[in-house]
Amino acid sequence: MTNPLTFLQSITFIRIRVIFEAIEPIGLPEYKGSAFRGCLGESLRNQACTRPGLNCQKCKEQFVCPFSQLFNSYVPQEHEHQRKYPKSPHPYIIDPLAGTQTEFEPGETFGFDLTLIGSASKQLPLLLQTFGKMGETGIGKGRGQFKPVGLQALNADLNYETLPYFAQPEILSIGKLPVKALDKRVTIDLENPLRLKENGKLLLSAPGFGLLVERLAQRTGLLAHFYCGAPWPEPELDSIAEITNIPIEKSQLHEADWRRYSGTQDTTMNFDGLIGQITYRGEGINNWMPLLTLGSWLHVGSTATFGLGKYSIADH
């Protein structure tokens, strides 16, 4: 069996790194991705919205407004699969920089990597302005203010380098990513909680290879279609159901209980998920390495926009 997922070739993305400096004391939650997403969304909406106070779903600009395109990702009514997919996966990922520090004094720095997928990369000039607005909006429970002090982009060598304000970041694709050639074994290192649902319930045991690949292929297939011009992916996705011969060799996963406060809903939300390593062993793994490689950049599972579902492919 060879990899049937031709839509992987269509996916393009850029990744930038923005560094902020605290102006006032700032307290962030344990997982900073939710706070960054909330601050970015609020600042972008204040900047881009032309009809404040109106529900986005009732707004005539819901498909052209930069905020709505990124944070709502509505699928037009005329799309033949709109009833099944009223929203597409969001075309961005916020991945906080490594580190456990949550309290920042004036002069200390923090930040995140931002991935923009396909056509969403056209919003970069506006987002560069929004980073400054984020600092004015403030972040954390005390709404501490901060300012952007550094901007980098991932280059063709997959290293970060300073990005001049008017420069265009490297457009990345599967053809520019190193795809490992593995024999019969692959180990997935889940760095941030993986959230997969099965039969409507959150999966808190090791996912089978078929389930992991199916959800990853669905996510990348929809991203390829809605933002990168690829055909509708379901005919190719249907072939994944045939994967039954790659069992779990070893699992060292454990449940992580991450929580975030939602200012919009005024409640604490739980984001349980799985962290650790899982090894699959069987024939045909190499066929799925392009998909697994791309997924290591675009994440898998729900809440990927916060940075959840981040994984790497371990070296054996």
Most confident of 23-32, 50-59, 87-96: 87-96
The residue among 34, 256, 257 whose CA lies nearest residue 141 is 34
pLDDT on residue 131: 96
Mean of pLDDT values over 76-85: 94
Percent of the chain with pLDDT over 90: 76
pLDDT on residue 242: 65
**Is the pLDDT confidence value at 235 over 60?**
yes
Q: Is 278 helix (H, G, I), strand (E, B) or coil?
A: strand
Helices 33-48 & 124-137, crossing angle to 10 degrees?
110
pLDDT on residue 1: 44
**Is the pLDDT confidence value at 22 over 60?**
yes
pLDDT on residue 117: 98
* Contact present, 19 and 250 (Cβ < 8 Å): no
pLDDT on residue 266: 55
Q: Between residues 20 and 5, which one has the greater pLDDT?
A: 20
pLDDT band, residue 186 (cuts 50/70/90):
very high
> Between 3.50.50.60, 3.30.420.40, 3.30.70.1900, 1.10.3720.10, what CATH number should domain 179-313 receive?
3.30.70.1900
Please list, in sequence order, all residues whose beta carbon lies within 8 angstroms of the beta carbon of residue 248, skipping any fewer than 6 positions away.
Answer: 206, 208, 209, 278, 279, 280
**Where is average pLDDT lowest: 65-74, 128-137, 237-246?**
237-246
- CATH 3.30.70.1900 placement within the chain: 179-313
pLDDT band, residue 244 (cuts 50/70/90):
low
Percent helix, strand, coil in the chain, to 5, is 30, 30, 40
**Where is average pLDDT lowest: 166-180, 229-243, 260-274?**
260-274
pLDDT band, residue 142 (cuts 50/70/90):
confident
**Is the pLDDT confidence value at 71 over 50?**
yes
pLDDT on residue 164: 86
Please list, in sequence order, all residues whose beta carbon lies within 8 angstroms of the beta carbon of residue 201, skipping any fewer than 6 positions away.
Answer: none
**Is the pLDDT confidence value at 9 over 90?**
yes
Summary mean pLDDT of the chain:
91
pLDDT on residue 280: 96
pLDDT band, residue 41 (cuts 50/70/90):
very high
Report the distance separating Cα 113 and Cα 20, nearest Å. Answer: 12
**Can you give the pTM of this predicted structure?**
0.94
Q: Is 228 helix (H, G, I), strand (E, B) or coil?
A: helix
pLDDT on residue 268: 62
Report the distance separating Cα 260 and Cα 262, nearest Å. Answer: 6
Report the distance separating Cα 81 and Cα 94, nearest Å. Answer: 28
**Is the pLDDT confidence value at 75 over 80?**
yes
Mean of pLDDT values over 133-155: 94
Provide the b/e sequence for 124-134 (b: ≥16 CB within 10 Å). Answer: beebbebbebb
The DSSP output letter for 206 is P
